[in-house]
Amino acid sequence: MWRFAGVDLAMARARIDAAFEAGVTLFDTADIYGFDTLGGFGSAETLLGEVFADASGLREAMVLATKGGIIPGVPYDSSAPYLASAIDASLRRLRTERVELWQIHRPDLLAHPQEIARALEEAHRDGKIGAIGVSNFTPAQTSALAHFLPVPLVSHQSEFSPLHLAPLFDGLFDQSMEQGMAFLAWSPLGGGRLGDPADERGRAVAALLDAKASEYDVSRAAATYSWVMAHPARPIPIVGTQKVERIREIPQAFIPRWTRAEWYAVLQVAMGERLP
């Protein structure tokens, strides 16, 4: 829902309805989403809250996730007072008493993990957040926060795509599997670069994805999502499109099947080198 803001209520509702029709139940937003639109900071949450107010029962049908901790110009604040105020502000904008998942959007290097844990534990105890996750954290930062929390961290949210492979090698996928954490993959299409590759590497990766897409009669995007989901950490691609027709194509991602040789072929072309 990064680009969800800036449209009228009817279009917002059409996007939500298309997602439900495609089988999507997890909706990922953040307080900063929409800050670069006329509505400013919080406008994506505000628009979603308006959809909830207009459509009785819609809120209860979804798993709602939001994030906080980024302030343009600061840039990060995970102090206990700010986190408490950010969570309350998100709930007001969303017109809900609780979100199923709340994630720290990016690590604040000036906040001690014990202070962060205290604020999140209080919000969890008060029923404002059902579960706690982290976004763009390293494994070490995640472990430090988990040490002070009485409840488990349930999710990582970080970038992963055939053009951004870091979680395969930096320990994020390993920690996700070890701790049973969900992994939410943002920019699974390489921030749009796989849709229109601008360099030789991107075109080579796209060619392999196109071969798989052609084999199963699906879109390149669906083939890419399926490649992402094939990893045993069971990454959940966060689909960022705001086009209703592309939202409807999401179920295609479950169709392709990858052999080990095919999956590793994409990886090695994306890396630009052969594995030993």
Tell me the catalytic residues: 33
Which residues on neighbouring strands pair with residue 76, listed in sequence order?
A: 70
Alpha carbons 17 and 253: distance in angstroms, whole number: 19
**Cα angle vertex 156, ends 153, 162, to 5°?**
160
Q: Please, are residues 256 and 228 in contact by the beta-carbon 8 Å criterion?
A: no
Please name which of 139, 211, 131, 122 lies closest in space to residue 179, comparing C-alpha atoms: 139
The tokens describing 2, both together, are 């990064």
CB half-sphere exposure, 86, CA atoms < 13 A:
25
Peptide bond into 75 cis (omega under 30): yes
